[in-house]
Amino acid sequence: MEGLGYMKDLVKLLIDANRAYYEQNIEAISNREYDKLYDELLQLEEETGVRLAGSPTRKVGYEVVSGLKKAAHDTPMLSLDKTKEVEALVAFLKEHEGLLSWKLDGLTIVLRYDGGKLVRALTRGNGHIGEDVTHNARVFTNVPIVVPHKGKFDLRGEAVISIKDFDEINEGGEYKNPRNLCSGAVRQLSSEVAAQRRVQFFAFGLMAPDISFEKKSEQIEWLDSQGFDTAIFAKVSARNVTDAVAGFKARIVYSDLMSDGLVLTYDDIAYSESLGATSKFPRDSIAFKWADELTRTTLLDVEWNTSRTGLVNPVAIFEPVEIEGSVVSRASLHNVSILRGLGLRKGDRISVYKANMIIPQVAENLSLHEERPFPCLPPKNCPVCGGATEIVGEPETLYCTSPSCPAQRVRGLSHFVSRDALNIAGLSEQTLEKFAARGLVTDFTDLFSLEKHREEIIQMEGFGEKSYENLIRSIEAAKDVKLPNFIYALGIRHVGLANAKLLCEHFANAREIATNCACENFMDILTEIKGFGEAISISLHEYFSREENRQRFDRALEILRISSPTPQSRNRPLEGLTFVITGDTTRFKNRKELQNHIESMGGRVTGSVTAKTSFLINNDAHSPSSKNKKAAALNVPVITESDFFAKFF
């Protein structure tokens, strides 16, 4: 459509100008020029009938949902058969023409439009049932929320985060790759996160249109005319597909989008539909995967960097080598589990490669079985503040435990406002980081006096009068909080929401909790609580024994309206039982709802199967999942939701 490409350029130019002005204090273009371009964009949107979600002319109202609902796909989302051999592509095409395009490494989404408006967005899910992420799709930077065509149609595409945006967001190294960051953003309950992470969408297939096409290339061109960014493709035959693959490979070095290969599909729609599908793959398409170029080098050291969330990341430093046309000398190892698995020591010979031909990775330790001293171990102290570090979770991840660490501060604030804690909408990690950088918040009690900074906040990018007022209302509403949620919000090590509930059932109020946890005979008192052992008791004592923590705690009690749980006299049939939940749920909306039900009946829910687990709940009781295997090894019964109700209710 005439003017559409220029309109997209205008959107990008104005967004970049806003970002430079509000985040870097740089006036990239004059106010007069900005206003002129803004008016021009507004006129083009009226003329084309297309309005992009990321357009500066659109006033964004972020949406928060209570949970991701699930819905069935009208057409199953099957995986593609794969090959690493170009000859297989030649054989696939035979005498037919095809379309060769990037296989973008992101999250597959199905969008639905009706009456010219975006009405639904589903993730791929398990291929049959996806999660409803419509609230997030509406803030993707380049998704049209209004299109000229007023009929009903579905399209498939890939949600991605560009490498440039990933590098900016992932400055601390806490995210493994753009795909992981994108997946987390798209599946957030708050659309503000997806907006801040600059998720883009590239269409690659049209489904169930109310207009007919003979070729898939015609469908792509039609999607272009409706305002969608589409995956770059080339028309190919058996004669030139080898050259086309080489051309794509040469361009990937300059691409700002992650690609793990190419997709080849027949151009003729009738022929494609006549082929049908196997139980796993459609017969009209095949994926071509890049072969990794492994290069050997020598490990010089492992550095540890503390990110803004308190995560301490290992980075391999090695002798410089050339891979895929550029020289690299470092690669993120992501977490402690990967470091342990590689068994790295200084001086080891290692093989490295570029994941998707872009991001450096360590593939293998070639010296693993040699007798070498001094393994690269996680540091006991944070490289930023010197505070103690702690390994948590699975995979094992290293965190700084010091609440005064500048890097740790944002992580603590983010936890405090999370859904199971104070549940303050509008305070994403990125927003909290901006507030902390400006000195607006130093600890969680400062969140309740943000009205003092009204003028400064409404001038920040992403904020305005309405956003500020919504935030203040959300903070005011959060002052009414249940005691277990407040205790959980404090971020005390080993004290999840389930343990916080047990603690609050044992003591009458918040001050009684603080007093008993800080007293000298705390161990005798706390270990009386069923499920509390030495580690939890010591962690609680350490927290409430620190003067700065008690001061913040006391200030919070003056600000918040905390309700304590009433003694539960009703029957608690699950008392003393520990459950692990995995897989999809059927009777409950999600696993969290089932967890709340179990805990309300006196049971306990943990994240991993151990010898102390009473039951693993999995509706696919015979699946080969790692948790099912662990349960079988430990003789832990695996039951479905139906079994659960039949057994206990």
List residues with catalytic annotation.
103
Is the Cβ–Cβ distance between 546 and 465 less than 8 Å? no
How does DSSP classify residue 215? B
Return the SS3 of 165: helix
How does DSSP classify residue 104? E
Q: Which helix (H) or strand (E) holds 587?
A: none
Amino acid letter for position 342: L
Say how far apart CA 86 and CA 96 lie, in whole Å.
16
Task: Please state the separation of Cα 469 from the chain's center in Å.
Answer: 27
Triad 256, 260, 265: Cα angle to 5°: 105
Say how far apart CA 592 and CA 607 lie, in whole Å.
12
Say how far apart CA 185 and CA 179 lie, in whole Å.
10
What are the residues whose beta carbons fall under 8 Å from the beta carbon of 328, sequence distance 6 or more? 320, 321, 322, 352, 354, 360
Owner of token pair 């970002």: 19
Say how far apart CA 28 and CA 347 lie, in whole Å.
47
Say how far apart CA 597 and CA 216 lie, in whole Å.
49
Which whole-number Å values give the CA distances from 522 to 515, 518, 531, 537, 540, in the listed order?
Answer: 9, 7, 15, 7, 9
Amino acid letter for position 347: G
Q: What are 234's two structure tokens?
A: 């080339």
What are the residues whose beta carbons fall under 8 Å from the beta carbon of 302, sequence distance 6 or more? 314, 315, 316, 317, 333, 339, 344, 346, 376
Q: List the beta bridge partners of residue 288.
A: 83, 262
Strands (E) in 224-369, as ranges, are: 233-236, 259-266, 285-289, 295-306, 311-323, 326-332, 349-355, 359-365
Q: List the beta bridge partners of residue 206.
A: 155
- Concatenating the DSSP letter of every residue in 598-626 gives HHHTT-EEESS--TT--EEE-SSTT---H
